[in-house]
Structure 1
């Protein structure tokens, strides 16, 4: 199994679940005895079959659900579920759900994005600055006055994310953010998320797309019936047994890397191609007729 190339140095744990368990009313236990950390500066992909607990995990991390046992910590301090404690948590951690229509409710884009900052009691000038910053980050400044019901699906996705970004969270949790987007929309969103990461936001993404996870994430958390397994993304997504437990297939890039190594065309660890462009660059010198210069 191979490590991802040029991994970032791990930072401190920003938000963490400790010995946490949760079960829905009249239902089975979804998560039990879970220790789970979101590490500063590490892009994390959550992967697992439907019903594996991804949504529950995200809602526990963002304070939407409260562990029945165990607890949630923010920078090592226990989170309390009173108004003060939840405000502290939600200025650090923001969750964007999969369907933007479940999150958008205001008449215009600007009004929707301003809702969170207004509830923090900020001045009008501070709210306007945060809204402008978030709209620019998501490349939707031109849509500020657009009625939300006239937005395209991709625009609604961006508006929902902008509403979270306006809270200036340290951790942004996204549930299937690329679902329903065309390839161009996916690329634009990934570029936006990279910009947020470069600006210091730690991003957690739930996805079923193992190829996207391999390309985008530093770490992967696989939700399996035997528990949650977390580690460097290329290492975790090369575990065929864990992938099978999580209802996932082997990523394209891992399969190609194995073939390249079998053919003697790859130096080995750290050279897994994550996109077709990386594959072309990796194999170009070995292609028949390729020149040394």
Structure 2
């Protein structure tokens, strides 16, 4: 099933150059998609088109095969199914307290008060911030504000969660906690799209990749796409450490059966190689 798709989409900002042209992308249900590309390639523009924040100049965005309408009813339907979390949480948070901010979306759905409270509690627990429910938003750290912004999105229980550079500004512990949360959401059936510059994160986390370079979009399995050094160079992306390590191992006749995606997997492989030698 393809819940979200763009067909031959194009977009240019007023008095600016064309950002996207004749671009198509299908986002399969239940998958994790990493969107990569250099600054200015159109990643954020594409995310805003996917989530209804921008109107395409050409082509269309489809939700369950039906073109979305950019009127009040059409956008409300889209945002029940697809939620965007922007890069800077201060662009998304505006309520006095954490619980108030997370409850904003469910309240706008017209849900009963008990259902809203349940969704808020569930979202805060998923992000590990239940203890912050009554905390004023302006007193939170940057990482905490990011988690509140994501909680507000998942309180809507979207089919597709779209995140723009969600790990930017987070320390390593914050990144690990966020990835654990995304893994739990995926296990529950949420489709996740993440724009990132971090090729190692993309390889570790995603099933599929979409690489924007030179106005073109290449898609495919993440392990295969990020092995294409010419594509990475065109997108101003460096090779992943995993592919580099694999090449060194292969040169010494030690290529493993599968590509190690994390330092832990590489360490385990090194330990196994040491024991067999």
Partner residue, 2:214: 225
Measured in 2, the distance between the counterparts of 1:49 and 1:144 equals 37
Deviations 1:168-188 (A, max 9, x none): 001000111111111111111
Say which of 180, 197, 214 aligns to 1:191: 180
Distance 1:226 1:148, change over 3 A: closer
Query: Is it true that 1:286 corresponds to 2:273 in the alignment?
Result: yes
Is the 1:16–1:73 contact (alpha carbons within 8 Å) kept by the matching residues of 2? yes
Q: Compute the TM-score of the two structures, normalised by the length of structure 1.
A: 0.92
Residue 20 of structure 1 aligns to a residue whose secondary structure is strand
Equivalent residue number for residue 135 of structure 2? 146
Runs of 4+ in structure 1 off by over 2 angstroms are none
Partners of 2:26 and 2:248 lie apart in 1 by: 34
Q: What whole-Å deviation, never above 9, does each CA across 1:247-272 have from its counterpart, x for those lacking one?
A: 1000000111111122121244xx11
Deviations 1:79-121 (A, max 9, x none): 1111111111001100000000110000000000000111111
What is the SS of the residue equivalent to 2:125?
A: helix
Q: Counterpart of 1:235 in 2: which secondary structure?
A: helix
Q: CA RMSD in A?
A: 1.1
Are the equivalent residues in 2 in contact too, given 1:243–1:250 (CA < 8 A)? Answer: yes
Q: 1:283, CA displacement in angstroms?
A: 2.4
For 2:263 and 2:102, the matched residues in 1 are separated by: 36
Instruction: Give 1:99's aligned residue.
Output: 88
Structure 1 residue 123, shift from structure 2 partner: 1.1
- Tell me the distance in 1 between the aligned counterparts of 2:159 and 2:61: 16
- Where 2:163 maps in the other structure, the secondary structure is strand
Please tell me whether the aligned partners of residues 10 and 19 of structure 2 are also in contact (alpha carbons under 8 angstroms): yes
> Within the alignment, does 1:78 sit opposite 2:50 as a pair?
no
**Are positions 1:137 and 2:126 aligned together?**
yes
| Unaligned ranges ≥5, structure 1 | 1-11
CA deviation digits over 1:39-96, x for unaligned, max 9? 1111000101000000000000000011111111001011111111111100110000
1:110: which partner in 2? 99
Provide the residue aligned with 1:8 in structure 2. none
Q: Tell me which residue corresponds to 2:42.
A: 53
Per-residue deviation, residues 265-289 of structure 1 (Å, max 9, x unmatched):
1244xx11111110111122222xx
Does residue 179 of the first structure (1) align with residue 179 of the second (2)?
Answer: no
- Tell me, which stretches of 5 or more residues in structure 2 are unaligned? none
> Is the aligned partner of 1:256 residue 2:245?
yes
Q: Does 1:204 align with 2:173?
A: no
Q: Are the counterparts in 2 of residues 266 and 282 from structure 1 also a CA contact under 8 Å?
A: no
Question: Across the two proteins, how many residue pairs are aligned to each other?
Answer: 277
Distance 1:101 1:258 in 2: 42
**1:4 aligned residue:** none
Distance 1:245 1:113 in 2: 40
